[in-house]
Amino acid sequence: MRISGFSFARNAVKLDYPLREALLSVLPLVDELVVAVAPGDPDDDTRGLVESIDDPRVRVVEGVWDDVRRQGIYADLTNLALESCSGDWCLYIQADEALHEDDVPGLRARCAELLDDRRVEGLLFDYLHFFGDYEHIQDGHGWYQREIRVVRNGLGVRSVRDAQSFRYPDQRRIDVAPAHARVFHYGWVRHPRHMQAKIREFWSHRRPPEVVEAEHGDTETFDYGPLGRLTRYGGTHPAVMRGRIDAMDWTDALRLTDPPGLVRTQRHKDERWKYRVLTALGRATGLDLNHTNHGRVLRV
């Protein structure tokens, strides 16, 4: 059995993505690791970062950044990497995600166990969405609880939307089995200055430039809001993240509660009544009320 890892990246250094950590976290599991890298800004060297990983299994494929495709370019680059995979299973890791080393042996065993069960077209991972720092997580409505991160090779499935998940070309959802493994998502953990730069980049692929400038041009740092509203995480992080966690230098920019008299013009999704109600309903019923991208979850 062979497992291919694949990913994509652009401007990962400039926007402070933990890309190196993401790739290192999957190397103990995979037989090859394909990374599609698109040319970025002149002050970014994402390709150099990937190539600095001294491992013959890591292979860079050249991507093309097409602004006309808007957020669809994320899926295009993901598919470019996927098409270059040769393994029986293909493990996807994004530039702000990481696997925990404790899950790797079980995940390899899971892939071997399900290799000949052709009903299983992908594996579904549990998600931990860190927010602001490495101690708080978003686990309410609007933050997907599970997502596909392993697909069976040769089925013709494609990355969809903004590269969140995978479906067949006709948009049919694939049938999955639980991976019994976690993805640690750090997309919302970085210095508030880098976070704001990432948000501007995010919206620049979705809205006209003048709209992005009007909404975000005057803001230099991102406000995470009062972190005391969130669930506190009590477990361990992937070992590859130790250096980043130790180097965190924006604690003074965070707060657990809003000071008296502070009026915030914008509130985060989890603070809005609609999402608070849906979160409470989901927790009371045990149902996942979020949009899901997968088909049947096979109990195998």
**Percent of the chain at pLDDT exceeding 70:** 98
CA 162 to chain centre: 11
> pTM of the entire structure?
0.96
* pLDDT tens digits, 62-94: 999 887 887 789 999 999 999 999 999 999 999
Is 68 strand, coil or helix? helix
Could you tell me the pLDDT band of residue 212, with boundaries at 50, 70 and 90?
A: low
Mean pLDDT of the chain: 94
Q: Is 148 exposed, middle or buried (0-12, 13-18, 19+ CB in 10 A)?
A: buried
Kindly tell me if the per-residue pLDDT of 265 is higher than 80: no
CATH numeric code, 1-223+230-300: 3.90.550
Q: Where are the domains of the chain?
A: 1-223+230-300
Task: Report which residue type is found at 276.
Answer: R
Q: Is residue 125 within 8 Å of 181, Cβ to Cβ?
A: yes
